[in-house]
Structure 1
């Protein structure tokens, strides 16, 4: 049985975003292509992760492939990401992805249902199984045969791989965010966020 998650919020971040006055030439080059928030602000996740420039340089193309160039429909991708954020207690991840999720058609009612899990009312059968997949990967680090078989009826081999890698990627990001205490950026909120993942036997 999984243990309860500690609060994702730290009294103060363990690692602060790297201040602009400390950016060297390489840091400026790496951050030049980072997505910016309204007003030109670079999100805290990037200005914190760039403290490890070699890792940042390799991480960004991988994360971008899954987020912007993946094979999964946007709605399904964001359902998986938000459920993963909820399962891992990653408030930053949840808050940053709410606008992306809503842009794909995910409603406030869907967001409420995500905190309840796969048995909540309103899901299609496919969505129910995808949310269950996120929970199984969180709790057991693998998909059950039953879940795999259902998903295999709807997705190609490449898409099945992407489902697993997407959830794994956002687990890794959650570990980084929760451990370092990255603070949610101005203009974003964590409406509907509920810390702590589901209980798995």
Structure 2
């Protein structure tokens, strides 16, 4: 059995930026927390714990994330699969634990996610998943995509979909980096990310 990865590949899981105590929150922090609790996330969790230390950034990123997760033109299955590609790439235990069950519920195959969890190109993918995998992987590794990969995504999702897929990858990269730096703890998972093969 492979060892699990602490958030951000670090040697320790000691949280650096925990949620401020309620009595120590500023008015802006309290307002940000109340908005998260009232919104689709129903609580202050994950990246929004360290982001409480910058409530304006929290509010703006939360809006971007809500749009990309709940209003994007991308099919939910592709949205969740691309999120997990980012989580695997960045060692984000939190995003993996949260989005893996959502991807399974949206129709991504268990075998696909098992390969992805090992850092491998999934052997079994639907055609649109293969297009999303190529796009996300090239963007994460090369900071752009090739002409054939771009053309495949454009045929599949049109200009708006290409922009929203790019934005989704960027958004989850941003919040994963924040949690990696903060060492934000992940919820328990029955299938945590394992270490990359040596």
TM-score by length of 2: 0.84
The equivalent position to 2:144 in structure 1, one of 142, 166, 179, is 142
Which position in structure 2 is the counterpart of 1:121? 123
Q: Does 1:53 align with 2:55?
A: yes
Q: Does 1:171 align with 2:191?
A: no
Give 1 or 2: higher helix fraction.
2
The equivalent position to 1:31 in structure 2, one of 16, 30, 33, is 33
CA deviation profile, 1:6-36 (whole Å, cap 9, x unmatched): 6156331121121222223322221112158
What RMSD, in angstroms, separates the aligned Cα atoms of the two structures? 2.4
Which blocks of at least 5 consecutive residues in structure 1 are unaligned? none
Stretch moving more, 125-134 or 137-146 = 125-134
CA deviation profile, 1:151-189 (whole Å, cap 9, x unmatched): 22211110011111111111111111111100113xx42
Aligned residues: 188
SS of 1:155 mapped into structure 2: helix
Taking structure 1 as reference, are residues 150 and 117 closer, same or farther at Cα in structure 2, changes over 3 Å only? farther
Please identify runs of 4+ aligned residues in structure 1 that moved more than 6 A. none
The answer (yes or no) to whether the contact 2:84–2:96 under 8 Å persists in 1 is: yes
The equivalent position to 2:70 in structure 1, one of 68, 76, 95, is 68
TM-score by length of 1: 0.82
SS of 1:169 mapped into structure 2: helix
Which blocks of at least 5 consecutive residues in structure 2 are unaligned? 1-6
The answer (yes or no) to whether the contact 2:51–2:58 under 8 Å persists in 1 is: yes
